Amino acid sequence: MGDALIGAFVAFVFSVLLPRNLARRPKRYLRGVYGEIATCLGTIQRALRDGNATTMGDAATELRGVESVIDGASEVIASAQQIARLNPILRADRPVLDECGRQRALAMRLARTLDMLIRQGRGVILEAGRQPNAAALVGIAATTMRAHSTALAHWQRPDLARRLAVQLADACAPGAVPDSDWRGSVLVSLMRSIAIDALQATGLSRAQARAHLPDVDDPEPTRDAPTMTEEGPSAVWGVDGR
């Protein structure tokens, strides 16, 4: 037991003292996180398009996988941030690791919204069958997340993902479904939340993201609390609202 503790301590000391690319693993995990989110969205899209509750169950299973990858990313990012704080040589890595933490927080929020979308979507399918309008919105979201995952893989500004997220926000405007279709309206409301989170993931602050949905009331105003760092703009991708 003592030897194991000594070995762990020595490994930790070397990890702190020896400079290395701390952001490599966090970036790799985040690419996987957003790629898995895209896959889950694709399954939700098929379920809504086909009116298939079983396929929606498959999406729920995939979401558990997303949550597992997020947990792994959280551990890797926290470890890298701790090492960067202890080693002044690695100070330059801190902004990138902070962005990794921001991306993780937004992915966690997306996962929570996906859980609600899956639950609501299954109920809507069982009651009313196919939901082509909502399926089309989910399809845009899936394409957005795939583009974002690709940008993270190369650690490039996610311009394509941002354009797609803006397209999603536009498509989620009031009137996306008939007023009489209250079930579809519930799904569109959740997609508006996903659009805002997607825009934030591409670098915008929450205020900038919400500007693309000016006629939508924020269902969770407490999210704007300044203590939540993911609500601000990215320090890496830029802060313009385009």
Per-residue pLDDT reduced to its tens digit, 10-38:
444 444 444 467 889 999 999 999 999 99
Over residues 176-208, the pLDDT tens digits come to 666 557 787 889 999 999 999 999 999 999 999
Domain ranges of the chain: 21-220
Collapsed DSSP state (helix, strand, coil) of residue 227:
coil
Cβ contacts of 169 within 8 Å, gap of 6 or more: 192, 195, 196, 199, 209, 212, 213
Give the global pTM.
0.84
Determine the CATH number of domain 21-220.
Answer: 1.20.58
pLDDT reading at 79 higher than 70: yes
